[in-house]
Amino acid sequence: MKEIAVQKNIEALLPSPVRMKQMPEEPEKSFGDILKSSMDKVSQLGREANQAVQALTTGQKTDIHGTMIALEKASVSFQLMMEVRNKAIDAYKEVARMSV
Amino acid sequence: MEPQGIFSGTIPLLEKTLDLRSIKHNLIISNVANIDTPNYKAFDIIIKEELEKAMGAEKNIKLEKTRSGHLTGKESYLGNVKSGATGDQQFSLRFDGNSVDIDREMANLSENNLMYNALAQIISKKFEGLKNVIKGGR
Amino acid sequence: MNFLDALHISSSGLTAQRLRMNLISSNLANINTTRTQQGGPYKRKQAVFAAQTDRQSFGNMLKSQMAGKSSEVRVVGIVDDPRLAKSKYDPQHPDADKNGYVVMPNVNLIEEMVDMISATRSYEANVTAVKATKNMALKALEIGR
């Protein structure tokens, strides 16, 4: 429960109303599934950034702004993932501290 | 919660515009290099039209409506950029058939340069804003 | 969409204009030359430029054909000006023919000066293009900062 509340808090902080509309209407996936698919997307962004850097260094494609943008996207999404991880762990600790 | 969701917004628009501005830059400097080549016709692209095509819109660009699934990928929209001699660049006023007007090319060069720099700056600020939010203002 | 290509294009323009300047200088220096190795007076030289798409790998060339026809300029030849030379009446000249006429080079001073100004202006335009390219690339590098 706390986790879902935390997740909604984080979503509320992020400035993109469009994303809200993209939330799937299908049967509810567990938080773990959502987290896993998000992490796949983050690593996908990281891979794309790697490929962009490779193309730039080998001189195959000297697209400077594209590479920089890919790197930034990967960096920002990694940061977001780390923050989410921190919040999730904090939430778990909070729950674990509840006296039975 | 999708990490890619935080990049929806004006960031794809900025990316594509940056790409188009690069292409336009290359065309402009080709025109400048070929300023004395006989029978060379100046090339140009119209940023607004190309951007609308790339974003899949038919009228003015409204991000919220048009972005769902019209974009198929980076290379495909770049491959369809139409460039060619536009308007009064098709016929030349010169004896050797060259239609490059150096003053117009210089003006276009400056304008393109400025817009490119502005776009790079803007997208940088956008990322900075996202990072700020993620850190929670800490 | 390629900064290396942009620099190649501009540098080809610079080279072409510089070659043109060299030919103009040669024409001016030889404006009174009546004797050359080929015999006969000096003939005015001109460069022939042609636009060519960049030498690239095939894949890139395909993409660049689609994404806009940016092209380099190449000098494909140096030709003699076919216009007729002027003759001057000067029987004292060592190269005068039996009628006393000397065939002078077909170089027109005013024309060469105007050509020189035009070549200089084109060269400067290409230098400005290089500066603009560099400026844009540096600005793009600052995206993440």
Residue of chain B whose alpha carbon sits nearest to that of C49: B37
- Say what the pLDDT of residue A23 is: 55
CB contact under 8 A, A72 and C137: no
Residue of C1, C10, C51 lying closest to B19 (CB–CB)? C1
Residue A53 or C36, more confident:
A53
Q: Which residue(s) pair with C87 in the sheet?
A: C103
Tell me the C-alpha to C-alpha distance, in Å, between residue A80 and each of A42, A65, A85, A94, B5. Answer: 9, 22, 9, 21, 12
Q: What's the whole-number average pLDDT of chain A?
A: 81
Residues B108/B21, Cβ–Cβ less than 8 Å: no
- Say what the pLDDT of residue A20 is: 53
CB contact under 8 A, B3 and A80: yes
Q: pLDDT tens across C47-104, in order?
A: 999 888 755 544 454 454 444 567 888 899 999 988 888 888 888 888 888 888 888 8
pTM above 0.90, yes or no: no
Distance between CA atoms of A12 and A6, rounded to whole angstroms? Answer: 10
Residue of chain A whose alpha carbon sits nearest to that of B12: A69
Closest Cα in chain A, distance from residue C111 (Å)? 42
Q: pLDDT tens across A73-99, in order?
A: 999 999 999 998 899 899 999 999 987
B33 touches chain A (CB under 8 A): no
Q: pLDDT tens across B2-12, in order?
A: 445 778 888 88
Tokens of B55: 């974003």
The three-class DSSP label of residue C83 is coil
- Say what the pLDDT of residue A14 is: 60
Residue from C136, C138, C141 to probe the interface with B (highest B Cβ count within 10 Å): C136
**What is the average per-residue pLDDT within A16-34?**
65
Domain ranges in chain C are: 3-31+45-80+107-143
- Say what the pLDDT of residue C126 is: 95
Instruction: Kindly indicate the confidence band of residue C139, based on its pLDDT and cuts at 50, 70 and 90.
Output: very high
Does position B75 have pLDDT exceeding 60, yes or no? Answer: no
**What is the average per-residue pLDDT within B5-22?**
86
- Say what the pLDDT of residue B8 is: 80
DSSP state of A24: -
Q: Backbone phi, then psi, for C103, in 5-degree steps? A: -85, 120
Report which listed range, A4-8, A14-18, B97-101, is most confident. Answer: B97-101
Residue of A59, A61, A71 lying closest to C144 (CB–CB)? A71
Percentage of chain C exceeding pLDDT 70:
88
- Say what the pLDDT of residue C122 is: 94
CA–chain centroid gap for B60, Å, is: 16
Which region among A11-20, A72-81, C68-77, C128-137 has the lowest average model confidence (pLDDT)?
A11-20
Does position B105 have pLDDT exceeding 60, yes or no? Answer: yes
Q: DSSP letters along A25-83, please? A: -SSPPPHHHHHHHHHHHHHHHHHHHHHHHHHHHTTS---HHHHHHHHHHHHHHHHHHHH
CB contact under 8 A, C5 and A62: yes
Residue of chain A whose alpha carbon sits nearest to that of B11: A69
Distance between CA atoms of C120 and C128, rounded to whole angstroms? Answer: 12
- Say what the pLDDT of residue B73 is: 39
Residues B53/B70, Cβ–Cβ less than 8 Å: no
Does position B64 have pLDDT exceeding 70, yes or no? Answer: no
**What is the average per-residue pLDDT within C29-45?**
86
**What is the average per-residue pLDDT within B90-113?**
85
